[in-house]
Amino acid sequence: MIEKVFNKCYPIGVNGVPQRTLTRAANRLIADYIAAFGGFYIPDEIKTIAKQIKIGEIAEGYNWEHEHELNGTGEKIYDKVKYVNEARARAYFDNDEYGDPMYCVDWYFFSSEHYKKRIGGVLLRANTYHDIYKKVTAAKGNYRYFCTHRPPSSGGIPSGYISYDAYSSGQNYLGEVTYNAPLKQSDLENWGLVLDTNWSDIRAALLGEEGNNGNV
């Protein structure tokens, strides 16, 4: 979650508000927007408000709210992710408690991500991709196997599994299944499974584990 809040009123002197003050406020507006939503796209309305702040003009309020949910893709690190975004900004004239003129600037930027993933009967939640990846990795078994013949499903993989996921199209394998104990070679051949030899290193990097939990 990222939240950026700014709310200041500047006294208007004989020569107006100092240019340095206006420029700093305008630059911070852009910087806070980028911090909340990234710099790949800045709405024209936000750019216009920044320009108006630089010259001490009224800027009509910008209000934007957006919420959407997506299913997990690829290797299904998560089942669903929900994005919530809110942006408001404006600049206006007002008076203080003594009736003296003020130039006021305020904005509010908010962005959040909410991830969900079910492993077995447990629903995992996190607010960042890294955290859900870490939680999911910790909840899975010590041994991961890739499915080469068919997507995994209950009854279509060896019993005793901790988790399984069918991958989206375009991946190298059809899915994965994890266990806390290694499978027999005959199971790998009968069910079309391939051991992920990198799994212990992935778990160690994410969970700070030492050693490889016996993975080979």
pLDDT of residue 154: 87
DSSP conformation letters of the chain: -EEEEEEEEEE-BTTBS-HHHHHHHHHHHHHHHHHHH-SS---HHHHHHHHHHHTT--EEEEEEEEEEEEE--TTTS-SEEEEEEEEEEEEEEEE-TTS-EEEEEEEEEEEEEEEEEEETTEEEEESSHHHHHHHHHHHS-SEEEEESSS---TTSS-SS-SEEEEPPTTSSSSEEEEESSPPPHHHHHHHTEEE-TTHHHHHHHHH---S-TT--
Residues 153 and 87 in one domain: no
Residues 85 and 17 in one domain: yes
Residue 134 lies in a domain: no
Residues 190 and 150 in one domain: yes
Residues 15 and 58 in one domain: yes
Residues 97 and 160 in one domain: no
Range of the domain at 164: 140-207
pLDDT of residue 209: 55
Residues 97 and 34 in one domain: yes
Residue 215 lies in a domain: no
Successive 10-residue mean pLDDT values, the chain, 216 residues: 97 94 98 95 96 96 96 95 98 95 98 96 95 96 96 92 94 96 95 96 84 43
pTM: 0.80
pLDDT of residue 48: 97
Residue 122 lies in a domain: no
pLDDT of residue 201: 94
Residues 104 and 155 in one domain: no
